Amino acid sequence: MATTRRTSQRVTLLMLVLASITVLTLDYHGEANKVITSVRNRVGDGLSPIQRAVAAVLHPIGDAVSGAFHYGAVQQQNQVLMNELGTMQRELAANNQASAEARNVLALDHLPWVGNLTPLDAVVLAGPSSNFEYTIEIDRGSSAGVATGMPVVGASGFVGTVISTGVNHAVVRLLQDPRSTIGVRIGNNGTDLGIVTGAGRHANLGVTLFSSSSPIHKGELVYTSGTSGSGVSAYPAGIPVATVTSVHVATGGLGVAVSLRALVDPTTLEYVAVLLWTPPA
């Protein structure tokens, strides 16, 4: 009996579903149409909450399935965009680097203190490898008119002296080399004369004053004096060499101790200029 009752319930439910489907899908005309439409609307209103509940459940599932299908494509597109951004950043950095290099070379062609001397641009091929190395190598040699004894400068001032040349390269002894000696003047028009000697430590320099008739101040520039002799190498006058970092007057004013720092740090050089100048015989 229980089985017969359950079977009867299932048949009744099936008939109601079929009737509902029929009411919702059939299209009648005239008075019958009005009745059917009314019934269909009421059935639709009754089923609407069920439809909304089913849609609410299935919608996130649909989004998740759709997202799963499209995730790979979105990730690939993001990677393409990141690659393009990286390329643009590298190109921008290269352009900035090229602009900086162009400015550095242009500065070497317009040195205000060169006068009538001709500067020859050169690339630094090898810099000092340690604090005990006091030479650099450049890509200009005898084929470009470079000769031993010519001064080499950077945009800020004196770098060193050509000590040997090949056809397409030259070796430059730096100002910091202990064997470098330069006659200098405190201030471009000053009367305080002395000799600067390389101290072999970074940009520090040794200095010996043999004429000090006016006060020396911290921050003053030191220039080549143009004098030579007594072991002092000859250079054109007026090339910036160093700056005064400290001045100490001995007790009683019997002497002055001056500390200098070179204007050019040889460890950062990329471009230099050789001044095509022949030392006097």
Q: What is the pLDDT of residues 208-241, one digit of tens each?
A: 887 666 788 889 999 998 876 655 667 888 999 9
Domain-ending residue, one of 63, 79, 114: 63
169 domain residue, yes or no? no
Is residue 236 in some structural domain? yes
Q: How far apart are CA 247 and CA 209, in angstroms?
A: 12
Residue-range definition of the domain harbouring residue 18: 2-63
What are the distances in angstroms from CA 246 to CA 92, 152, 180, 182?
A: 42, 26, 22, 20
Total domains in the fold of the chain: 2
Lowest mean per-residue pLDDT among 14-23, 140-149, 248-257, 267-276: 14-23
Q: Strands 221-224 and 271-275: what pairing?
A: unpaired
Residue type, 241: V
CATH code at position 226:
2.40.10.350
Is the backbone of residue 187 left (phi > 0), alpha (psi -120 to 50) or beta?
left
| 3-class DSSP state of 133 | coil
pTM of the model: 0.62
Residue 21: pLDDT above 60?
no
- The verdict on residue 47 lying in a domain is yes
Q: Is residue 23 part of a domain?
A: yes
Domain boundary among 12, 45, 63: 63
Final residue belonging to a domain, choices 63, 85, 110: 63
Cα–Cα–Cα angle for 20, 25, 27, rounded to 5 degrees: 120
Is position 243 within any domain? yes
280 in any annotated domain: no
pLDDT tens digits, one per residue of 22-52 = 544 544 444 445 554 554 555 455 545 555 5
